[in-house]
Amino acid sequence: MKPGGQPNLQQLMKQAQKMQRELAAAQEELAAATVTGQAAGGLVTVTLTGAKVLESITIDPSVVDPADVETLQDLLVVAFRDAARVADELSADTMGPLTSGLGGMGGGLGLPGF
């Protein structure tokens, strides 16, 4: 944009298209990535994609006690939350550089409100 002038719409469109391609590539990267969460020192593990799609659950037989199902349920929740936290960190690392220029409502485009 020229100082005091109108923004160059063609340039803005090119920037928006480039950002859209970069975001799509980052989303594909996240969908292909896998992260693992653990509970009880790795006796229960949950594997998610970077997009938080459940891929697998592994449970060590030593934590399976038919008389104490609640503990196993709690371990599954802990492992899932741990994996989700790792997926969130991966997403922030992957998407952060692409979205940081948006400035809230897209202020990086040089248009008020966009």
pLDDT in tens, the chain (114 residues): 556 666 788 888 888 888 888 888 888 888 889 999 999 999 999 999 988 899 999 999 999 999 999 999 999 999 999 999 999 999 888 887 776 655 544 444 444 444
Write the CATH number of the domain with boundaries 29-102.
3.30.1310.10
Domain boundaries, the chain: 29-102
Of 39, 29, 28, whose CA–CA distance to 83 is shortest? 39
Q: What are phi and psi of 58, to 5 degrees?
A: -120, 130
**pLDDT on residue 109:** 47
**pLDDT on residue 114:** 43
**pLDDT on residue 63:** 94
As beta bridge partners, residue 101 has none
Q: Is 113 helix (H, G, I), strand (E, B) or coil?
A: coil
